[in-house]
DNA sequence: CACCATGTTCCTTG
DNA sequence: CCAAGGAACATGGT
């Protein structure tokens, strides 16, 4: 589910549901997601703490907590399949529930089918992140300067969270398609003008995805109402997903600009989609 | 059974 | 020490 836009939408959704709420008890059903925080430390630290604010940094969720005079941060990441939501306490827990916080009347659930995500007190990974896409210090010039240091394909570099925080595999392909740059281009051969174009397209595509509720639309209408949500197809709009994405997952289908079949290649063990005609160089 | 999947980290190689 | 490539993690869908 998550690249930056999905996390942003989730944070905006959860913020009013969580801020001001106190964690009464903690249930850890899969200790792995806490790594490297030990279960005992995790529970002891969080029980009795109040969630003050919720923020996003790259693809991470930052929970600002307060307990007595102490303030600290809980770091969340959804990996590939993680979900977080607030539900009534009587609601059944999903099969792959990893952590549950009892918030009094409601419960906060972190569920993750593949358990690649994290909910931890260790902030190290978030500290390594590069600038947010909208950081004013991030310019065509600074971006090119960073790209110059690498001969990796530019598509692979876009996934480097220390370069820019938040771009994932879907939007990396989308950005290069919009900019007309081949995903195979060596990072150090991107010009300042092209970097400027990429930056504009990065901001545009992420903004658009956030605006429309994310790549795969958020559906808050869940049978059970009360804030339970899930990511899935919007009812009655079968191809909503593809209308938003111009090349990703369109291998073999005609390019929306020139009708040339979209190609799928593998870079750094991840799929890349591009139009061999519109993205010649 | 084979291959694919929105992500990150660790290990190896050069 | 660094850059780059690939495997690992764990589960499910097609």
CATH of A4-127, one of 3.20.190.10, 3.40.50.300, 3.40.1000.10, 3.40.50.1450: 3.20.190.10
HEC letters along A89-122:
CCCCCCCCEEEEEECCCEEEEEEECCCCCEEECC
Task: Quote the pLDDT of residue A2.
Answer: 86
Residue A209 contacts strand B, CB under 7 A? no
Question: Which pTM was predicted?
Answer: 0.92
Contact, A88 vs A106, CB < 8 A? yes
Judged by C1' against the alpha carbon of A269, the nearest nucleotide is: C6
Mean pLDDT per segment of 10 residues, for chain A of length 281 residues?
90 95 98 96 98 98 97 97 94 95 96 96 95 97 95 96 96 97 96 97 94 58 38 46 81 96 95 96 84
In this predicted structure, what is the pLDDT of residue A227? 36
Same fold, A4-127 and A140-274: no
Owner of token pair 């065509």: A140
- Measured from Cα to the C1' atom, the residue closest to B4 is A271
CA nearest to nucleotide B5 C1': residue: A80
**CATH fold group of domain A140-274:** Helicase, Ruva Protein; domain 3 (1.10.8)
Domain boundaries, chain A: 4-127, 140-274
- The answer to whether A174 CB sits below 7 Å from nucleic acid chain B is no
């Amino acid at each position: 589910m998550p690249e930056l836009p999905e996390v942003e939408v989730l944070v905006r959704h959860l913020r009013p549901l969580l801020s001001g709420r106190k964690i009464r008890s903690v249930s850890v059903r899969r200790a792995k997601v806490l790594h490297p925080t030990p279960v005992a430390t995790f529970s002891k630290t969080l029980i009795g703490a109040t969630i003050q604010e919720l923020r996003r940094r790259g693809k991470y969720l930052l929970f600002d907590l307060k307990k007595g005079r102490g303030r600290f941060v809980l770091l969340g990441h959804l990996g590939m399949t993680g979900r977080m939501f607030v539900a009534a306490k009587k609601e059944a827990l999903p099969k792959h529930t990893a952590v549950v916080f009892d918030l009094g009347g409601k419960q906060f659930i972190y569920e993750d089918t593949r358990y690649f995500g994290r909910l931890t007190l260790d902030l190290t990974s978030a500290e390594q992140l590069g600038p947010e896409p909208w950081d004013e210090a991030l310019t065509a010039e600074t971006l090119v300067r960073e790209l110059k240091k690498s001969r990796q394909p530019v598509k692979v570099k876009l996934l480097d969270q220390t370069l820019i925080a938040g771009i994932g595999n879907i939007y990396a392909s989308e950005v290069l398609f919009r900019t007309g740059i081949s995903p195979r281009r060596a990072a150090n051969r991107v010009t300042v003008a092209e970097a400027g174009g990429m930056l504009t397209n990065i901001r545009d595509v992420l903004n658009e995805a956030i605006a429309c509720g994310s790549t795969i639309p958020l559906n808050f209408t869940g049978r059970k109402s009360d804030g339970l949500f899930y990511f899935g197809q919007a009812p009655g709009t079968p191809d909503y997903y593809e209308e938003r994405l111009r090349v990703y997952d369109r291998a073999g289908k005609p390019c929306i600009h020139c009708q040339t079949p979209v190609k799928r290649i593998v870079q750094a063990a991840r799929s890349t989609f591009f139009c061999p005609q519109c993205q010649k160089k």
